[in-house]
Amino acid sequence: MAAVGIGAGIAGGSGSGEEQVVIYSNADDEAVQAMKNALDENGYAGEYIFQTFGTSELGGKLLAEGKNIEADLLTMSTFYIDSAQEQNEMFRDLEFEVNTLDEFPSYCAPITAQEGTILVNTEMLKENGLPMPESLKDLADSVYSGYLSVTDLSSSSTAWLLVQGLISEYGEDGAKEVLTGIYENAGDHIEDSGSAPLKKVRAGEAAVGFGLRQQAVADKADGLPVDYVDPQEGNFSLTESVAVVDKGADSNAKAMEMARCIIENGREELQTYYPLALYEGETTDAANISANPKVFEEPLTVDLLEEHQELSEACK
C-alpha cells in the first residue's frame, strides 16, 4: 500500500504529448469508460489522461493540495467538491448551460447519482428462516444478529445514505437508538468499504446488508440470489459531479470543453449504469425507480458528514 496515494497518480500517466488535460476521478470503471467514450467520440482522443482514485484519497488530495492539484478537470462526490470550493476556492464557474432537475452550484454539474437500499441474500434468508426486512429500523431487530453487514460511516460515505435515512425519520436521538441496534447486529461485519456489504451478501457471509441500489438491481437481474428492499425511511442519494480546476493563466482551455462534452455526450451511457435521471429530458427506467426517493433536508457538506460521524461513533 506504500504509494497508493501517489502510485495511483502516476502509473497511468505514460502517454506523452503536450498540454494533455489531466482528469482525476473517483468514479467506477464503468463511469470512467463512459466518459472516455464520450470524449473519444467527440474528437478528444489522446488529448487527456484519466486517473482514478478512491473517494477518500481524492478527497484528501482536494483539501490538501487545492489549486496545486495536478488535475485540470475532475469528477468527484458533489459534497466534497462543495467543501473543497469553500475551503480553497479552486474551481471555475462552468461556461455552459446545464439544465439539472435539482439545483447545483455554478462550478459543478452532476454526472451520476447513487441511491442506498437494503440488500438481502434470498438463499440465506430462507436457510436461516429470517423474515424479509422492510425498514432500516427492522435491521436493528435482534433476529438479524450475526447476519447483517453494514458500512462504517467513518470509513465510507456510502454509509451516509443509511444514517441520513435514520436521522430524517427518527431525529438524532431516535437514529442513535436504531443505529446502536444495527451495529450490535452487524458485529464483525461493520465494513470499511462501501461495497463490502454487497460482497458479503453475494458471498453468503451475510444475509442482509446496506449498499448501493443499482448494484443490487444488477445482481438480481444477473440471476444471483440477491434482492433489494427499499426501506420505508426512504432511499437517499449522493451525486458525483464534474468540476474544472481554476489554474489562473495556466488553465487548459480544453478542460472546460471536455467538461461540457462529458455532460452533453456522456450522460446517455452513464445512465445505463447509474439509472437515476439528473437532467431535464431524462427518465429513470422502472426497475431503477426506487420506492421512496428522499433528499436530506440540510445541504450535504463535509461538516455535516463529520457531525453524523460523531453520532455514528457514539452508537458503537
Shortest gap between Cβ of 52 and other proteins (angstroms)? 5
Q: Can you read off the three cell numbers belonging to residue 138?
A: 427492522
Q: Can you read off the three cell numbers belonging to residue 56?
A: 477518500
Which CB sits closer to other proteins, 83 or 135?
Answer: 83
Residue for grid cell 438463499: 123
Which CB sits closer to other proteins, 86 or 306?
Answer: 306
Which CB sits closer to other proteins, 171 or 204?
Answer: 204
CA angle, 285 then 287 then 291, to 5°: 100
Which CB sits closer to other proteins, 138 or 219?
Answer: 219
Q: Can you read off the three cell numbers belonging to residue 39?
A: 470524449
Shortest gap between Cβ of 212 and other proteins (angstroms)? 6
Return the DSSP state at 246: -
Which CB sits closer to other proteins, 44 or 273?
Answer: 273
Helix (H, G, I), strand (E, B) or coil at 78: helix
β-pairing, 235-245 vs 73-77, is antiparallel
Distance CA 74, CA 229 (A): 33
**Helix, strand, coil in percent for the chain, rounding step 5:** 45, 20, 35
Shortest gap between Cβ of 99 and other proteins (angstroms)? 26
Q: How far is CA 197 from CA 86, 165, 290, 302, in A?
A: 33, 17, 19, 23
Shortest gap between Cβ of 245 and other proteins (angstroms)? 13
Shortest gap between Cβ of 272 and other proteins (angstroms)? 10
Which CB sits closer to other proteins, 98 or 120?
Answer: 120
CA 216 to chain centre: 14
Shortest gap between Cβ of 119 and other proteins (angstroms)? 13
Which CB sits closer to other proteins, 55 or 235?
Answer: 55
Residue 45 exposure: Cα atoms within 13 Å on the Cβ side: 5
Shortest gap between Cβ of 167 and other proteins (angstroms)? 16
- Name the residue type at position 217: V
Distance CA 139, CA 181 (A): 8
Report whether 165 contacts 117 (CB < 8 A). no
Shortest gap between Cβ of 54 and other proteins (angstroms)? 6
Which CB sits closer to other proteins, 154 or 232?
Answer: 154
